[in-house]
Structure 1
Amino acid sequence: MLRDSRAFSGFSVDDIRAAKAFYADVLGLDVTEEHCMLTLHLNGERPTFVYPKDGHVPATYTILNFPVENIDTAVDELTARGVEFVRYPDLPQDEKGVARGLAHNRGPDIAWFTDPAGNIFSVLQEA
């Protein structure tokens, strides 16, 4: 029944203006705003909906992953734009905040950061 549906994902934030500035100006995403809600137009033609929510509580898991060709370049560029990468005390991460080859070299190199609302995002090295 839903196989051919053009499904999309969404998540909440506590401040639409701060979110829009972060996604557009810091991350460089194509963002549109309509009726005080945002749409992130991501590669692959699957929009992601961002909506304001009273009492917003940040997600405690990664809500959006960005595969990149070179994780070191991506982390360096994002850091230069003011993004701070999350450090997890139970994970081995290098000085940039990149966890390299998690799960005994079976996972991708990955680094996490948050948006102004505290939601968790990642950049990860494409295979």
Structure 2
Amino acid sequence: MLGQTQAFSGFSVDDLDRARGFYGETLGLDVEESGQGEMRMLTLKLGSGALVFVYPKPNHTPATFTILNFPVDDIDEAVSRLEARGVALERYAGFEHDDKGVVRGAGGDGPAAIAWFTDPAGNVLSLIQEN
């Protein structure tokens, strides 16, 4: 029934202006703002062509799971570029991280390497280098 619709994803943040700066300037995504007052929102245009809506929520609680995964060809280069822009990687218990904070060779059919970081609202994002 919905297989042919142009579905999209969305998530909340506690500060739309900080989110616009982070996603647009720090991460370099194409970001458009629309609406007014309580109906303001951001549209993130991903390299795949997908759209993601970001909306303010006064009682925002950060997602406890990864909301966006960014595939990269060279995770070390991508991590270095993020760090140069002031982004710190997260380290989660149960994973063996290298000195940079990257988890490598998780095994199986998973990615060759993954690194997590958060947006200013605390939502979890990742860089993924495929096998």
- TM-score band (shorter)? over 0.9
Cα shift at 1:42: 0.5
Residue matched to 1:107: 110
Q: How many residues align?
A: 126
Cα shift at 1:43: 1.4
Q: Alignment identity in percent? A: 58
CA RMSD in angstroms comes to 1.0
Matched, 1:12 2:2: no
Q: Which moved more, 1:68-77 or 1:104-113?
A: 104-113
**1-structure distance, mates of 2:130, 2:73:** 6
Alignment-mate amino acid for residue 119 of structure 2: D
Cα shift at 1:44: 1.9
Alignment-mate amino acid for residue 62 of structure 2: P
User: Where do residues 1-127 of structure 1 align in structure 2 (5 Å cutoff)?
Assistant: 1-35=1-35, 36-102=40-106, 104=107, 106-108=109-111, 109-127=113-131
TM-score of the superposed pair, with normalisation by structure 1? 0.95
1:61-118 Cα offsets, whole Å, 9 max, x none, are 000000001000000100110000001132100011100011x364210000000000
**1-structure distance, mates of 2:130, 2:109:** 13
TM-score of the superposed pair, with normalisation by structure 2? 0.92
**2-structure distance, mates of 1:13, 1:90:** 27
**Structure 1: tracts of 5 or more residues without a match:** none
